[in-house]
Chains A and B, each alone.
Chain A
Amino acid sequence: MTDIQPSLPLTIISGYLGSGKTTLVNHLLRNANGRRLMVLVNDFGDLPIDADLIQSRDGDMINLANGCACCSMGGDLFNALVDVLDQKPWPDHLLIEASGVADPARIANIALAEPDLKLDATIALVDAETFENHADDPLIGETLTQQLAVSDLILINKSDLVEAKAMENVSFKLGTIAPNATRIETQYASLPLDLAVGLELASSEKKAEHSDDGDHSAAYAKWSISYDRPLDREAFEVALERLDGRVLRLKGIVRFKGNDTPQVIQLVGRRHSIAAFDGAENVQNGLIAIGFKGSLDRSLLDEIFSNV
């Protein structure tokens, strides 16, 4: 990717019926924290937005007081995406709540093909209680495993409703279906915004202090580093490989030796991309990462990334 047009980041939320997609969407909209999220809902369900968030309705579009919006796709992803992209200004981030049987890879592919979109992440939810039954269902099992196999992050939702042993089985099975996805146990699909749509880069003027949204602070930790020099690309890529699942997401802007164009680094789970930075604002060079409190080893990350 060498395109330097600004493009709209897209996160896909997939998962079978009852896995908690709607709950996640509401959670993210409620905790948007100043980011303007636009959610396209691809299910022929209600526009599932908590009433207290809604400021106004305009046909299929719901506008929220915090600048976010939610829109029904009416079963037509093509037209919904054309409408979003044709309307300026764009939101900060686009989310698609896929239908329970949609193949997120097909949606992700649109973001890869369309120059005005960039794929941020594919998140799948599973209901810890019903997952095994659904995965074995001859009618939909394959569809669900396909959803999971292409995901970056898998939320094992309703983790509080199953015994530890059952949770182990679910986790093991998910590991075989989706070996490259990172698994996160959640209750009420309460995934921090930074994990769902990515970390915000700190601008030079505003050294952003990320306030962990409340109850998550116990479970997740952050780490960051700043650079005032260009990096060696080869060494940097080796460093990314060394992460090996130790962080859930990492984002940053760096400069590589011999290239004046700042590069944006995105890592979700085990997938990363490096592309020419397409933002206009002046952003400080550095990296920021979020991971599980238990496995995010700050001193190790310092070591990995200071010598690149």
Chain B
Amino acid sequence: MSTTIFQAKNIVTMDPNNPQATHVAVQDGRILGVGDYQQTSSWGEHRLDKSFAGKTLLPGFVEGHAHLLAGGMWKFLYVGYQDRIDPDGRLWKGVLTLENVLERMREVDAEMPAETPLIAWGFDPIFLMDRRPDRNDFDSVSKTRPIVVMHSNFHLMTVNSPTLELAQYSASSNVDGIVKGDAGEPNGELQEMAAMFPIMRRLGIDFRELGRTRDAVEAFGRVCNRVGVTTATDLINDLDDEAVENLRDITGTDEYPIRLVPMLNALSQTPPETAKRAVAIKAKSTEKLHLGGVKLLTDGSIQAFTARLKWPGYYNGAPNGIWNIAPEQLKTLVDTLNQSGVAMHIHVNGDEAVEAALDAVEYAMVNHPTPDHRITLQHCQMADKAQYRRMKRLGVCANLFSNHIYYFGDQHAAITIGPDRASRMDGCRSALDNGVPLAVHSDAPVTPMGPLTCAWAACNRLTASGEVLGAEECISVEEALHAVTLGPAYTLKLDGEVGSIEVGKWADFAVLEDDPFAVEPSKLKDIEVWGTVLGGVIHKIDD
């Protein structure tokens, strides 16, 4: 029953009753008092911890849409265009030219045992101005070792000649997705799952497994810790008994720095089985492992032209995207899960998918009204204002992919959906103005995890080329910080436990070197993170 009072330069509580403080008292992992020293010390005996005397405390950030793969991917070599920091704090500078990519690969190749495949990820040839690489480039790294370079969207890979041989690909291979060079030989670029399948199978590249290992789950915790996240989701997981036990085990230690919220894949069994499983595993939740939510996948992604769009469809004339579940089945699924009280997170990217999801929610709610269901549309990038109004009426939350504005905004305006619809993408202002509970997310590892970056993107809406995409959808710093703390906590029904620094909640803090309100909104993403506190336990970022 010992009490610790943390003293900080300032504390941004996200609690309107008590927005700023300097001291927070913690007992048994929970917040006992917030205010100045006099207010917090009046509870009696305590220890004063001045570790944060020069720092700003915020509620620990909540990442409402990420994947454990964000930890697991680091098993492979990062060769992306953007800077990324790995779970152990190493800064991987973005590779700006193809020659950079190859240099980095040669360094690794020189140190790897022979025969071991060299697998890289995050590659983005559209940003490398020189030219599109082919197998010859990677043959120049090694002519004997299989080399696979996964592109950042995970839909393409470029491989070297030994890898092509593994799959017996040749000039006579006649398969969509095996790209051929001028001489008719496979040039090493493989597009989509079919063409990649034989390679992944033979080299044992298994993304599901990559997110399941102890290393991956632990690395994910470090990824979160580095960016101030204390509660994070894993937005699709098979959650069999073994996985649940593993996660309970790993998250159960004091060293593990986050509360994890994995969502059950709702498309891997029948709706009644999903409902039953979700309810059953919910009972296995702990203070640091929150089970019971499910993820439903409707369409694909906009940049891969697999999102379902309403008229007039894709700007470049690409055919409409794909359904992962028929809209008719979605209704049944949402209805069944709703009747069992299961929390739902529905992946929707295109506006037609938004419509189908809202139709399903409306059907389910008419059939079985459920107060406070907090069904959340995940990504929800193209929703228009009428859809936000409808979301409000149906009590649906929006977790928007604000990072997309920066990472893919230029492409969306130029290629995928055109400038007018791109300007309303991830419309945080529209959500808030229409009373839709709002969160923003990174979808790590699709974009790097970083709530301050997500908040920055929502405030500034700058694209990679420096354009402002849809200025009228910008939100304030305060609103953006809400969207990475209480906002996502609300979508997870954890807003009574985390998301603000209030008496009774878990003592989960992000420890920052600067006050987000004291810097220019354009500098939000540059604020350094010192570490976090989880349930009163300090987790300084490992150097």
CA distance A82 to B238 in the complex (A): 17
| Contact present for B323 and A110 (CB under 8 Å) | no
Indicate if B265 sits at the interface (CB-CB under 8 A): yes
Give the contact stretch, choosing among B326-334, B424-432, B459-467.
B326-334
Query: Whole-angstrom distance from the CB of A110 to the nearest CB of chain B?
Result: 4
Given the contacts A44-B268, A101-B322, A17 and B197 also touching, CB distance less than 8 Å: no
| Contact present for B201 and A82 (CB under 8 Å) | yes
| Contact present for B329 and A100 (CB under 8 Å) | yes
**Interfacial chain A residues near B320, Cβ < 8 Å:** 142
CA distance A141 to B508 in the complex (A): 49
Give the contact stretch, choosing among A112-120, A222-230, A246-254, A277-285.
A112-120
Task: Tell me the residues in window 237-291 of chain B with beta carbons closer than 8 Å to chain A beta carbons.
Answer: 238, 265-271, 274
Given the contacts A79-B206, A140-B326, A140-B327, A112 and B270 also touching, CB distance less than 8 Å: no
Indicate if A74 sits at the interface (CB-CB under 8 A): yes
Indicate if B178 sits at the interface (CB-CB under 8 A): yes
Given the contacts A44-B267, A74-B268, A78-B193, A2 and B172 also touching, CB distance less than 8 Å: yes
**Interfacial chain A residues near B352, Cβ < 8 Å:** 139
Query: Whole-angstrom distance from the CB of A127 to the nearest CB of chain B?
Result: 13
**Interfacial chain A residues near B327, Cβ < 8 Å:** 139-140
| Contact present for A75 and B329 (CB under 8 Å) | no
Name the residue on B nearest A16 (C-beta).
Answer: B326
Interface string of B172-214 (1 = CB under 8 A from A): 1111111000000000000011110110110000101000000
Given the contacts A113-B167, A113-B173, A44 and B178 also touching, CB distance less than 8 Å: no
Interface string of A253-291 (1 = CB under 8 A from B): 000000000000000000000000000000000000000
**Interfacial chain A residues near B267, Cβ < 8 Å:** 44, 75
| Contact present for A76 and B326 (CB under 8 Å) | no
Partner of B208, one of A1, A45, A76: A76
Partner of B322, one of A17, A79, A103: A103
Interface string of B323-357 (1 = CB under 8 A from A): 11111110001000000000000000000100010
Name the residue on B nearest A86 (C-beta).
Answer: B201
Given the contacts A44-B269, A79-B208, A109-B194, A114 and B323 also touching, CB distance less than 8 Å: no
Q: Size band of the A side of the interface?
A: 35 or more
CA distance A44 to B327 in the complex (A): 14
Partner of A110, one of B194, B268, B271, B308: B194
Name the residue on B nearest A108 (C-beta).
Answer: B194
Task: Tell me the residues in window 94-148 of chain A with beta carbons closer than 8 Å to chain B beta carbons.
Answer: 99-101, 103, 105-107, 109-110, 112-115, 139-140, 142-143
Q: Size band of the B side of the interface?
A: 35 or more
CA distance A44 to B266 in the complex (A): 8
Indicate if B136 sits at the interface (CB-CB under 8 A): no
CA distance A81 to B200 in the complex (A): 12
Name the residue on A nearest B310 (C-beta).
Answer: A138
**Interfacial chain B residues near A112, Cβ < 8 Å:** 174-175, 194
Given the contacts A74-B269, A78-B193, A17 and B208 also touching, CB distance less than 8 Å: no
Partner of A114, one of B201, B319, B325, B333: B201
| Contact present for A85 and B201 (CB under 8 Å) | yes
Indicate if B100 sits at the interface (CB-CB under 8 A): no
Task: Tell me the residues in window 47-92 of chain A with beta carbons closer than 8 Å to chain B beta carbons.
Answer: 72, 74-79, 81-82, 85
Indicate if B18 sits at the interface (CB-CB under 8 A): no
| Contact present for B268 and A143 (CB under 8 Å) | no
**Interfacial chain B residues near A78, Cβ < 8 Å:** 193, 197, 200, 206
Please count the residue pairs between chain A and chain B whose beta carbons lie under 8 angstroms apart in the complex.
100
Indicate if B316 sits at the interface (CB-CB under 8 A): no
| Contact present for A76 and B193 (CB under 8 Å) | no
| Contact present for B356 and A139 (CB under 8 Å) | yes
| Contact present for A17 and B329 (CB under 8 Å) | yes
Given the contacts A2-B172, A17-B326, A109-B194, A115 and B268 also touching, CB distance less than 8 Å: no
Indicate if A3 sits at the interface (CB-CB under 8 A): yes
Name the residue on A nearest B204 (C-beta).
Answer: A82
Partner of B198, one of A101, A106, A115: A115
Partner of B193, one of A110, A139, A143: A110
| Contact present for A143 and B322 (CB under 8 Å) | yes
Indicate if A163 sits at the interface (CB-CB under 8 A): no
Query: Whole-angstrom distance from the CB of A86 to the nearest CB of chain B?
Result: 8
Query: Whole-angstrom distance from the CB of A48 to the nearest CB of chain B?
Result: 10
**Interfacial chain A residues near B195, Cβ < 8 Å:** 109, 113
| Contact present for A81 and B197 (CB under 8 Å) | yes
CA distance A76 to B324 in the complex (A): 11
CA distance A112 to B319 in the complex (A): 23
Query: Whole-angstrom distance from the CB of A274 to the nearest CB of chain B?
Result: 13
| Contact present for B268 and A113 (CB under 8 Å) | no
**Interfacial chain B residues near A2, Cβ < 8 Å:** 172
Partner of A113, one of B175, B206, B324, B326: B175
CA distance A178 to B270 in the complex (A): 32
Name the residue on A nearest B324 (C-beta).
Answer: A101
Query: Whole-angstrom distance from the CB of A265 to the nearest CB of chain B?
Result: 18
CA distance A110 to B198 in the complex (A): 8
Indicate if B370 sits at the interface (CB-CB under 8 A): no
Given the contacts A85-B201, A103-B322, A139-B356, A113 and B172 also touching, CB distance less than 8 Å: no
20 A-B residue pairs with CB within 8 Å: A2-B172, A72-B268, A74-B268, A74-B269, A76-B208, A99-B326, A101-B322, A101-B324, A109-B176, A109-B195, A110-B193, A113-B175, A114-B167, A114-B197, A114-B198, A114-B201, A115-B198, A140-B327, A140-B328, A143-B322
* Complex A-B, nearest 9 residue pairs according to Cβ-Cβ distance, in ascending order: A109-B194, A74-B268, A75-B268, A101-B323, A75-B267, A110-B194, A112-B175, A113-B175, A115-B168
12 additional A-B residue pairs with CB within 8 Å, beyond A75-B267, A115-B168: A44-B271, A44-B329, A78-B197, A78-B200, A100-B326, A101-B324, A106-B192, A109-B177, A109-B192, A115-B167, A140-B328, A142-B320
